[in-house]
Amino acid sequence: MDQVQNKKPRRKVGQLTLVDTKDQAMAAKSENEDLNLHVSLCEQRYKELEGRLDAMEQRLVKVEDQISNLKKEVATGFGDLKLLLEKQNNARAIQLIATFGTIAVAVIGLLGYIITH
């Protein structure tokens, strides 16, 4: 039971395990006194940082791909919308021509009737 109580609290942050400040101070003092220990710890730290940077780079590539796909989808959507509006405008133009044609025929017919009678 005493062994469990003597364990120092540890918490996990990313891939690193941080110990309480007393242990950190002791580790820092040991690292300052031993160059090989310092070099070894720096190597571990740089590997951890490199791993984190690689993970961030992979996430950025995914985000770039998603943005690129979204851009293509928006461009396609706008192209479809443009075609729809053109068709609608063409339909309106045909409708206007037919309406004015009907009115013109009616006016010509009325003028013909007035002239003949």
Kindly report, residue by residue over 81-109, the tens digit of the pLDDT: 788 878 887 887 888 888 888 898 888 88
Whether pTM exceeds 0.75? no
Q: Confirm whether 59 is domain-assigned.
A: yes
Radius of gyration of the chain (CA): 40
Q: Confirm whether 115 is domain-assigned.
A: no
Supply the DSSP string of the chain, one letter for each residue: -HHHHHSPPEEEETTEEEE-HHHHHHHHHHHHH-HHHHHHHHHHHHHHHHHHHHHHHHHHHHHHHHHHHHHHHHHHHHHHHHHHHHHHHHHHHHHHHHHHHHHHHHHHHHHHHHHH-
The whole domain housing 70 covers 2-82
User: What pLDDT does 53 receive?
Assistant: 96
Confidence of residue 2 (pLDDT cuts 50, 70, 90): very low
How many angstroms separate the CA atoms of 36 and 22, rounded?
22
Q: How many domains does the chain have?
A: 1
Q: Confirm whether 103 is domain-assigned.
A: no
107 or 28: which carries more pLDDT confidence? 107
Q: Encoding tokens for residue 71?
A: 């851009």
Q: Confirm whether 11 is domain-assigned.
A: yes
C-alpha pair distances (Å), 61 with each of 55, 56, 58, 64, 69? 10, 9, 5, 5, 12
